[in-house]
Amino acid sequence: MASSATPLPASEGLPEPPRLARADRREDLLDAALALVASGDVDGVSMETVADRAGVSRALVYKHFANRAEILTALYERESTRLHNELSADVVAARTLEGMYRALCHGSLAAAKARGQIFEGLRSAAGMNRDLRKVQRERDRTTAATYVRQAVHELGVGKADAEPVTLLLLGAITPMVSAWHANPTDEYAVELENAYMRLVTGALNELRASAKPVAAGDPPTVDDLSSWLVRRLQEASPDQLRDLLTSVVTAMAGLQDQA
């Protein structure tokens, strides 16, 4: 005799997979949601589809997320954090200010090509709620502060002069990526990167030229000495570093004798 019972969804009829730590299970569920978004089906992300994709019950998904919006928000935050960390590593590895801007530009265009569809889908579906906006603002402040410090040390300018130029150059990244999305080709990415770097080079040259030299006889300020010392340390050979250290130790000993 045929059964009249309503068949269970695939995930509901399967035994639960091996028990994972709560954090690991949450990551697995986010990976399942990411796979759906990456396939172009962001509208298809739901508690049911994530459960099916992960091979778990809907009840387990509800233990980690209250609803679909919470899944998408958590996924956006995780993926944007990963991208930020990747770009930051490339920027830190650069040895010059111009190299830092190139690393950020190149990495942003590469991310747009590799993950642009994912971020566009998540941004429209999850929205930028207050918590996400707060996280993004803090990242932007940290990034700007890193570039400003490098400009002060490398170009010998004051923070007040470096900050507005830095903000303008960093602010040009978003419209550059938007322009690439309108014409997503490798050739156009190269053109955009070259155009951005011409903008960077011109701005940094102007900033460098605006640095005020210390007039003869004027005592150097603390900022002058700090910038000079950082540049010397960055450019010095091992032998020069030893000589510099010897000079510092000798000077300190002389101060102690005077005291």
Whether 54 and 96 map to the same domain: the answer is no
| 42 plus 91 within the same structural domain | no
Domain count, the chain: 2
Same domain, 98 and 195: yes
Residues 138, 27, single domain; the answer is no
124 and 146 in a common domain: yes
- Residue 15's Cβ-side half-sphere holds a number of Cα atoms within 13 Å equal to 3
For residue 185, count CB atoms less than 10 angstroms from its CB and return exposed for 0-12, middle for 13-18, buried for 19 or more: exposed
24 and 83 assigned to the same domain? no
Which tokens belong to 65?
A: 């997320």
Instruction: Choose from 9-18, 59-68, 220-229, 238-247 the range with maximum mean pLDDT.
Output: 59-68
Q: pLDDT tens across 143-191, in order?
A: 999 999 999 999 999 999 999 999 999 999 999 999 999 999 999 999 9
pLDDT at 2 exceeding the cut of 60: no
Could you tell me if 133 and 193 lie in one domain?
yes
160 with 57, same domain? no
Is the same domain home to 25 and 122? no
- Same-domain check for residues 130 and 188: yes
Among the candidates 26, 45, 65, a domain finishes at 65
Specify the DSSP class assigned to residue 218. P
Inside any domain, residue 42: yes
Residue-wise pLDDT tens digits, 50-91:
999 999 999 999 999 999 989 988 898 898 889 889 999 999
Kindly state whether residue 242 falls inside one of the protein's structural domains. no
Would residue 70 count as lying in a domain?
no
Residues 58 and 83 in one domain: no
What tens digit of pLDDT does each residue of 84-140 get? 899 999 999 998 999 999 999 999 999 999 887 787 777 666 565 677 778 788 989
CATH code of residue 120:
1.10.357.10
Residue 1 above 60 pLDDT? no
Mean pLDDT, range 8-21, rounded to an integer: 50
pLDDT of residue 13: 47
In a domain, 29, yes or no: yes
User: Does the pLDDT at position 252 exceed 80?
Assistant: no
* pLDDT greater than 80 at residue 213: no
pLDDT at 222 over 80: no
Report how far apart, in Å, the C-alpha atoms of 111 and of each of 76, 104, 118, 124, 211 are.
14, 10, 10, 18, 35
Q: Which of 4-8, 185-189, 241-245 has the lowest mean pLDDT?
A: 4-8
**pLDDT at residue 257 tops 60:** no
C-alpha 94 chain-centroid distance? 14
Least confident of 128-142, 143-157, 220-234, 238-252: 220-234
pLDDT value of residue 244: 60
Residue in the structure block whose two tokens are 């900033």: 207
Closest by Cα among 211, 200, 210, 214 to 168: 200
- For 98, the 3-state DSSP assignment is helix
Rounded (10°) angle between helices 130-155 and 97-126: 170
Neighbours of 119 (CB within 10 A): 17
Q: Tell me which residue range forms the domain holding 176.
A: 75-209
Residue 221 belongs to a domain: no
CATH number at residue 58: 1.10.10
